[in-house]
Amino acid sequence: MPQTPPLDYHATSFSQGRMDFTWEELTPEESQQAYADWEAGKGLIGGDPRRRPNAHLLPPWGLNQPFFRTLALDDERGDNGARFRADLASDRPLEVEIGFGRGDFLLDRAPRHPETLFIGYETKIKATRLMLQRLVRLGIENLWISDDDCRFSMPRLLPDARVDIFHILFPDPWWKPQHKVKRLFSPPFVDLLAAKLRPGGLLHFKSDVKEYGELVRYLVEGRDEFSPHDPALAARIGDFAPTHREHWCMRHDRPVYAYYFVRR
């Protein structure tokens, strides 16, 4: 991972209702510790993959499929690693969705943009297997998926300034304070997005949790690397299929909060 500046927290509270978004002021030492913990894999969904037995091997169902695991790129039983590396090294535009769930958004978007390469991360193995079956059945050839925690995988695999668009749609809020470490958005995560987005690249975020949107806006707009949220940037996404959660929100008349930030 590239060297990142110290965390720049301000004592700010987004406490509303059940959600606690209080961020404490950190000393420089505490900031460094926060980054070290993050790099060491604390809070990763499913635990640290480096500790899993046979972490260097792909599961049989993923062999020679558009599926990858960060630690298993050199598994010689399949051609996954070689093909994935070649795609990543190409100059095709790249879009990444984090937490694709059922995969409806990507399964619609990848065929719409055949010139673009897509990567989807989803830590739920069952959902990832189902998605793999769907994308193979649909004959989609510009989409790779992984069940790795994106916070483990992206620093290790994605070159800096490689990503054109990050889609982060309806991430889990992780309401309870003791679960906050699992919540996707934190200052180190915003640093990671800033490092991987190319200048002019887009961060596309949606949530039905108003306070989560406010937190994301606070964290992203506090960084010089991003321009302020601009709703007009929705045009860069164009037509899309709603995710499972967005579809649920539409059916239940629940408001959706969408944010668009450009990497300067």
Which positions are annotated as active-site residues? 172
The interface region with ligand SAM, picked from 20-28, 54-62, 94-102, 109-117 by CB under 6 A, is 94-102
Using a 10 angstrom Cβ sphere, with 0-12 exposed, 13-18 middle and 19 or more buried, the burial of residue 60 is exposed
As to burial, measured by CB atoms within 10 angstroms (0-12 exposed, 13-18 middle, 19+ buried), residue 172 is middle
Please, which residue, 45 or 161, has the CB nearer to ligand SAM?
A: 45
| Nearest by Cα to 218 from 161, 261, 172 | 261
Find the shortest distance in angstroms from Cβ 89 to ligand SAM: 23
Residue 211 binding ligand SAM, by CB under 6 A: no
Residue selected from 227, 244, 257, 258 as contacting ligand SAM according to rule CB under 6 A: 244
Cβ pair 221, 203 in contact under 8 A: no
- Told to check if 58 binds ligand SAM by CB under 6 A, we report no
Between CA 188 and CA 39 the distance in angstroms is 10
7 binds ligand SAM (CB under 6 A): no
Q: Does 163 bind ligand SAM (CB under 6 A)?
A: no
Q: Which of 169, 190, 195, 209 binds ligand SAM (CB under 6 A)?
A: 169
Query: Measured at the alpha carbon of residue 79, what is the angle toward residues 92 and 73, in degrees to the nearest 5?
Result: 80
**Which residues contact ligand SAM by CB under 6 A?**
45, 98-101, 121-124, 149-151, 169-172, 184, 243-246
